[in-house]
Amino acid sequence: MNGKLKATLLSILMVLIPFLGITPQAQATEFDSQEIVVDIDENGDAHFTETWQVDDDRGTERFISFGNLLENQEIADFHVEENGTLFQTVPNWNSKDSREEKAGKSGIQVNKKGDTELCWGIGEYGPHTYKVTYTVRNLVVNLPDAQAINWRFIQTGITDGPKNLRVIIRSPLFNADNVTEPLNFGNEGSFVYENDQLEYQLNSQFDTDLGLALMAKIEPGTFSTNAQDSKTYQELVDISKEGARSAVDDSFWGRWKGWIIGALILIPTLILALGGALLAVVGTSKEKRLRNQFLDDPSFTAVASNYGRPPVFQLDRLFSLAKNANSDLHRDMRQNLLSAYIVKWVLDGRIRQVHIGDTMFGNAKYGLQITDRDSSTIADRYERSAFFILLEAAGDNDLLEPKEMKRHLGSKTGFQEWDDLLEDLKEYGDRLTKSEGLVEVVKTKALFFPMKVTRVNQAGAMELAKMRGFKNYLETFTIIDEREINEVGLWKYYLIYAALFGCADRVYAQLKRLVPNFSQIVAPDEQTFHFAMAVGAAGQSGYSSMASSSSGSTGFVGGGGGSYGSSSSGGGVR
């Protein structure tokens, strides 16, 4: 389908999605629990200890953001640790650094809005328990009629709130007489003063649109704090109530506005969508007929059905020819490219299969151990990029399991890296086939709309026919001579391209039948070969899952002067 036609249909979908209340789903992390313990000194400084239990599968860093701080309030003494290991403090944090560069590190930065952000690297994807500590200078505020704690612990509009949330605020100066009127705004929960401490416990599902602010009135002169606010305690309460009501209203409107507006414009939108669908059907049908013109020629069929000595394929050139011929080879190669690379790396000795344990049912578990990390010896730019992605997925232990490959390519970072590689193949392949005179542009119409179709010409069709003939040969091995049987390098060549074309199992079985002691002569053995293919298939599954879902926001910026809570904080993943 040409670009204009695709743009028309995409525009129709983009119109429909917001008005029908359909929210694109991002690849979500799991935020299992958050516990915040606040210890307040006599001078009003508050020492925060936060424990986050998360399972990250996207982004490069976690962060907490603070905005709307009063004069004399500041954030200090920030540290992060995990499993007893203290993260390295980086003086100049850069959110644009890679996940590998941020791993095991933490730092402070100021965003474009002037908010202070406490940041730390995610490191490897998977479950983490972070211990985050920092100090808020002068958290307790002097008011004309009292002192107060007035703090927004979680900002409104975040993308991933905790399933379980507990906040404890305590001080040696607290007693039942000087701490009164504990109030919570935003998410409902129990917020009480007992046992000489304030404690909030979330008692419902966390609503990310509402956030959480906590207040408490304190007897004047209890703390020697330097923070001042000209409002009375009741005025702060009224402001917080109004802010909370506004957040609830915004939350309600955010949930229902799509359905309300969608109901008003549904009929004309459906008419537009049906017209676009008809245009797509007509355009696709015409495009297919044009692209298949040379492929239906008897000369193409004759070449494709007979084996010839396979040429040395250029991957980008091959991809472009198959794409512009609307060939199923293009689909197969996109789906199997990672498996083909992994098979090649096993054959080259860069990786090997190792036993890593047993399941609870006694079945053996395997992984791929990277034995040669040096990518400088890989000449092909696409293979070098793919190997870098494999290294990322394996992590610091250089051991890769299928679930790790799936998780990485299903993450935002891994998906984008693999998508960029495929886009490079397309871009450079199209340039190559155009410069070699293997494609042509045909102008036509779909209904009343002009369209252009790029297709292989007769010369391009012949090149594609050779590739089709090679695939047919690999699937059948109808012709093979003694020289080929004795040429080990050729077997490896066959296996790699068989993996790329999606017929690897049949080719391996044929070679086992034709070549004596094949499994002993050519690495890998059959079990390793199939496991390498499975790791590649797992990665493709993760990529396909991510591609099928629309990519929404992957983080949020907390803080920024919210309507309730004199100071505000938030946090997220990005």
Chain-centroid distance, C-alpha 392: 14
Residues 225 and 156 in one domain: yes
Whether the predicted model's global pTM rises above the 0.85 cut: no
Highest mean pLDDT among 22-26, 49-53, 328-332, 481-485 belongs to: 49-53
Residue 521's pLDDT band (cuts 50, 70, 90)? low
The Cα–Cα gap between 355 and 5 comes to 51
563: in domain: no
Residues 210 and 323 in one domain: no
429: in domain: yes
Residues 136 and 237 in one domain: yes
Residues 337 and 418 in one domain: yes
91: in domain: yes
Residues 367 and 516 in one domain: yes
Helix (H) or strand (E) holding 263: helix 233-291
Tens-digit pLDDT profile for residues 536-560: 999 998 898 888 753 333 332 222 2
The Cα–Cα gap between 558 and 409 comes to 28
Residues 106 and 224 in one domain: yes
Residue 20: per-residue pLDDT: 45
567: in domain: no
17: in domain: no
Residue 285: per-residue pLDDT: 55
Residue 25 has pLDDT above 50, yes or no: no
Segments forming the whole domain that contains residue 247: 31-255
Residue 27 has pLDDT above 70, yes or no: no
As for how many domains the chain has, the answer is 2
Residues 106 and 213 in one domain: yes
Residues 57 and 169 in one domain: yes
More confident residue, 428 or 515: 428
Residue 173: which CATH number?
Answer: 2.60.40
Tens-digit pLDDT profile for residues 265-278: 666 766 666 655 65
User: What number is the average pLDDT over the span 314-341?
Assistant: 84
283: in domain: no
Residues 107 and 174 in one domain: yes
Residue 52's pLDDT band (cuts 50, 70, 90)? very high
Residues 250 and 329 in one domain: no
Residues 73 and 203 in one domain: yes
291: in domain: no
Residues 444 and 339 in one domain: yes
Residue 287 has pLDDT above 60, yes or no: no
Residues paired with residue 358 on neighbouring β-strands, in sequence order? 364
The Cα–Cα gap between 175 and 222 comes to 10
Tens-digit pLDDT profile for residues 307-322: 555 655 678 888 888 8
Residue 147 has pLDDT above 50, yes or no: yes
Cα angle 503-504-507, degrees, rounded to a multiple of 5: 90
269: in domain: no
**Residues written for the chain:** 574
Residue 26: per-residue pLDDT: 42
Residue 90 has pLDDT above 50, yes or no: yes
The Cα–Cα gap between 87 and 104 comes to 5
More confident residue, 45 or 363: 45
Contacting residues for 113 by C-beta, under 8 A, at least 6 apart: 67, 557, 559, 560
